[in-house]
Structure 1
Amino acid sequence: MALLKVTALVLCAAFVSALPAEDPVLGRWSEGLRYDYMEDDAGTPHLVDNWLKLSDFEKLARYNPDASNRYHLFTRRNPQISQPLALNNVQSVQNSNFNGRSRTAVLMHGFAGSVTSGFNTVLVPAFLAAGDYNVIVVDWSAGSSWGPRAVEAGQAAGRFINWLNGITGSTANLYTVVGYSVGGHGAGIIARTINGNVGYVIGCDPADRWDNQWLFRPSDGLYTEVIHTNVGNIGMRQPLGDVDFYPNGGVNMPGCMTALCDHYRSYYYLGESLRTGGFTGRRCSNLNQALSGSCNQSGTLRLGGPNPKTGNSGIFHLTTNPLPPFSRG
C-alpha cells in the first residue's frame, strides 16, 4: 500500500510538471467569445485567441515591422514583376520606376496574407488599368498571422511613406490607401500616420472583433469609404467612413455560398469599379434601411472608382450580379 501511495504521488507530480505554465491574460483585443475561427486569404481556418496574453506581448516585442515589412512597387512599366523599395535605402527608390508626380496606391492585405494574396492580385492590375499609378503592396506577412499586429504594421508603413515622400517630393493628397479585413483598419492607421492629409482611404470589409481604439475612422483621409460585404461575421456591421456602402444588404453576396466568399467580394467590387465604374448606390436614411435594402432617400453615389468623392457622406445600398460583371450599373 505504501508503495502504491508513493507511486501515485510521483505520477501526480509528473502530471503537474507536464502542465503548461500559466500564461497571464493582460487584456482583450475584442469583446465577445475568447476563441473563434478566422480564415486566411486562402480559406484556411485558424483558431484565434482574442485575449492578449503575456506570451502574445512577448511576440509583439520581438516583431519589428520597420525591419520586417516589405514594399513591392508595381507600375505600368513593371506591371507583373515588382521592384523592392527598402526603408533607408535611397538607391532602391532611385533605381525604381516610382514617380513622385504620379498618384500612388498603397495596398495592405489581411490576416495571414502575403504579397500574393487575392486582394493584391485583383487590385494591382485594376489600379494600373485605371491610371498611371505607383502601386505599393505592403507585405506584412511576417506579422499577419496575429491580426492585432496590423496596428504596428500600419504605423510602420506610414513611416515608410513619410520617408519615401521626403526623397521623391510626393505628397499625401496623391495617395489612395486601401486595406482588406484587418488590413482595412490598417489602411486607416497608415493614412493617419502619413504626414499631411491622404486624399482617399478605402476599407474593404474591415474585420469585426477589433479594438475600438484602432478602428477605421472617417477622419483618416480627406475622403474615406468602406465597402461592407460580410457584416456581423468576418466584417464589421457599423458605418466607419465618410461613406459606407452595403452591397446586397452587406451579407449573402449573390453567387457566394460562404462567409469568406462574401468577404472577398469587397475587393472584387472595388477592382471592377476601378476598371469600369458602375455600382450605383441608393442613399439610405439609416443603417437598418441599408441592411434590409429598403432605402428610399433621393440621391445616388458610385461605389469605389479611382477618384475620391470628397465632400460626400452617408450610407448607401446597391445590388450586384452573382458573376462578373458584378455591377448592375
Structure 2
Amino acid sequence: MNLCRLLYLLGFLIICKGDEESGDSELCDDFTDLNLSHCFMGTSLYVRLLLYTRSNPECGRELQHRHPSDQPLFQASLPTAFVIHGYRPTGAPPIWIDQVVQLLLAHEDMNVIVMDWNKGAANLNYFTAVTYTREAAQNLTGFILTMQEEGASLDHIHLIGVSLGAHLAGFVGAQLKGKIGRITGLDPAGPMFTSAGPDERLDPSDAQFVDVLHTDMDSFGLRGAHGHIDFYANGGADQPGCPKTIFAGKSYFVCDHQRAVFLYLCALNQTCSITAFPCSSYSDFRDAKCLQCEAFRPAPCPKLVYDMSPWREALIRAGQTKVFFSTSSTLPYRKLSYRVDLVTWNQYLRWGVVYIRFHSGKSVTEARIDHKLLRFEQFTSTRLLAEFDDDISSIQKISLRINTGNVIGPRYKIRLMRVRFSPLDQPHRPVMCRYDIIMEENMEVSFRPQPCN
C-alpha cells in the first residue's frame, strides 16, 4: 500500500517536473496534420491562425480571432502577410509553409500569419472545399477588421493565396471593398472558376494591387488575366522538367501547379531575379516581338520579385498587364536572355531553325530557337529571342548553326552580313557583333565576338 502510494507520488512529481522544465514558452502551435482517413470521411471547416514573427520564426503561436493583441508577440503596427493554402486532398501540411514564413521574415520585420483551414480543405470532394472558401473568407475578414480596430492598417496587409487560397484571398479583399494593400495569387485554381465572373473569383478590384503567377492553365490553374500584372511562366501551362506522362504518378498531376509556389520561393530568396516582358501572347514573346519595356521607364522590365514597388504605380494605371518569361527546369530557374538580330544576304530562300552556343573556357551553354521554322532570304533582317539555361558572363566564342533539315543534295550557303547579340536582363554586359559570315546550312560555324560598330 505505502509502496504503491510512493510510486504514485514519485510519478506525479516526475510529471510535474517535466511540465515545469518544458514551460509554456517552448510550446508551439503546429499546422493541422490530417491523413487520408480524414479526407475520405470529410472534414468540416475550422480556421486556425498561426502567428510567426522575428521573435518566433520557427514556432507558430495560435491567435485568438477576437483578441489578437492578447498574444504579446503580435504587433498591430507592423505589416502583416497572410499565407493561405489551397485544396489539400491528402490532408498533409503543405511542404512549403515553413520556407515561405522564413523568407518573408527575412525580407521585413512583420507579422506572418499562416491561415490553417486544413479542416475544410482536406476533403476528397473538391467541390466541398470550394464551398468552404466563402465561409473561411468571412472568418478571415472578421479577423482583419479586429486587427484594424487594434491599430493595423489595411494598406500594409498582404494576402498570399495558393491555388484555391488565391480565390479565398480575393473573397476577403472583395468583402473589404478592395482596401487591402496587396494580394498575390499563385496559380489560382481553375476547376469551378473557369467561367466565373469577377465577383466569384480573384480579380484586380479585390485589392489596391493584385499580382498573379500562372503555371498550370491547361489543368488545375485558371486561364486568363486576373491581376494588375499576370506573370506567365513558360506561357503559363506546361513547365520544363515536369512529367509528360501519367506513369510518373502524383508528380504528373501536381508538378506544373506546384511550380508557382517554388518560383515564388525562389523570388523571395532573391536567387532568381527573373525578367518578364509585356506581351499579348507567349508565341509573340518567343518570336521576339515583345522585348521592350518603355511603359516602365526609368524602371527596367518587370521582374518576378517580392518587392513590386518599382512597377506598382505604372501597373495600376495600366489596368491589367500580361508579362511572359521562360525558365529552366531546376533552381535558380532563370535563363540568360539575348536578342539576336541577323541580316541575311544568301541568294536562295532557306527555312530552318537556329542553334547558338556560348563558350567560355570549358563552359558551354546552348539556346535552341526551334519552336517554328524561320525564313532566311536575301536582304532580310530577322530578330530572334535566344534563351540559355546557364549564365556565362565572359563569352569568348560563339557557335552558330542554321538547320534546314536538308539531308539530300548540295548544302546551300547562307551569308550573314551581321549578327548582333544584345543582352536583355544584364544591361551592363556588352553588345556583341560579328560581320560577314559565310556558312553552310546544317553546319556549325564558330567565331569570336567583336564590339559592334
TM-score (norm 1): 0.73
Q: CA 1:94/1:173 → structure 2, altered by over 3 Å: closer, same or farther?
A: same
Provide the rounded CA distance (Å) in 2 between the counterparts of 1:284 and 1:231: 17
- Alignment match, 1:226: 212
8 Å CA contact 1:284–1:295 kept in 2: the answer is no
Letter in 1 for 2:80: T
CA drift of 1:287 comes to: 6.6
- Alignment match, 2:50: 72
**Residues 138-164 of structure 1, C-alpha deviations (whole Å, 9 max, x = no match):** 111121123211122122112111112
Letter in 2 for 1:319: S
8 Å CA contact 1:252–1:259 kept in 2: the answer is no
Which moves more between the two structures, 296-305 or 68-77? 296-305
8 Å CA contact 1:111–1:147 kept in 2: the answer is yes
**Residues 150-187 of structure 1, C-alpha deviations (whole Å, 9 max, x = no match):** 122122112111112212x0111101101111111111
- Alignment match, 2:289: 296
- Alignment match, 1:310: 312
CA drift of 1:252 comes to: 2.0
Q: Does 1:281 align with 2:276?
A: yes
Q: Larger helix proportion, structure 1 or 2?
A: 1
Q: Does 1:85 align with 2:80?
A: no
Q: Does 1:327 align with 2:320?
A: no
Provide the rounded CA distance (Å) in 2 between the counterparts of 1:295 and 1:173: 38
Overall identity of the aligned pairs, in % = 27
Quick one: higher RCO (CA 8 Å, sep 6+), 1 or 2? 1
Q: CA 1:122/1:190 → structure 2, altered by over 3 Å: closer, same or farther?
A: farther
CA drift of 1:115 comes to: 8.6
Number of equivalent positions: 268
CA drift of 1:126 comes to: 1.7
- Alignment match, 1:252: 238
Which moves more between the two structures, 234-243 or 143-152? 143-152
Provide the rounded CA distance (Å) in 2 between the counterparts of 1:150 and 1:288: 35
Q: Does 1:127 align with 2:104?
A: yes
Letter in 2 for 1:204: L
CA drift of 1:119 comes to: 4.1
Provide the rounded CA distance (Å) in 1 between the counterparts of 2:283 and 2:72: 48
**Unaligned segments of structure 1, at least 5 residues:** 1-40, 49-58
8 Å CA contact 1:177–1:190 kept in 2: the answer is no
Q: CA 1:264/1:121 → structure 2, altered by over 3 Å: closer, same or farther?
A: farther
CA drift of 1:222 comes to: 1.0
TM-score (norm 2): 0.54
Which moves more between the two structures, 117-126 or 127-136? 117-126
Q: CA 1:94/1:307 → structure 2, altered by over 3 Å: closer, same or farther?
A: farther
Letter in 2 for 1:134: N
- Alignment match, 1:139: 116
Q: Larger strand proportion, structure 1 or 2?
A: 2
Q: Does 1:186 align with 2:168?
A: yes
User: Which residue of 262, 272, 286 maps to 1:268?
Assistant: 262
Provide the rounded CA distance (Å) in 1 between the counterparts of 2:141 and 2:288: 37
8 Å CA contact 1:278–1:302 kept in 2: the answer is yes
SS class of match (1:179): strand
Q: CA 1:137/1:287 → structure 2, altered by over 3 Å: closer, same or farther?
A: same
Provide the rounded CA distance (Å) in 1 between the counterparts of 2:202 and 2:326: 24
CA drift of 1:77 comes to: 0.9
Q: Does 1:242 align with 2:228?
A: yes
Letter in 2 for 1:97: L
Q: Does 1:97 align with 2:73?
A: yes
Which moves more between the two structures, 124-133 or 252-261? 252-261
Letter in 2 for 1:282: F
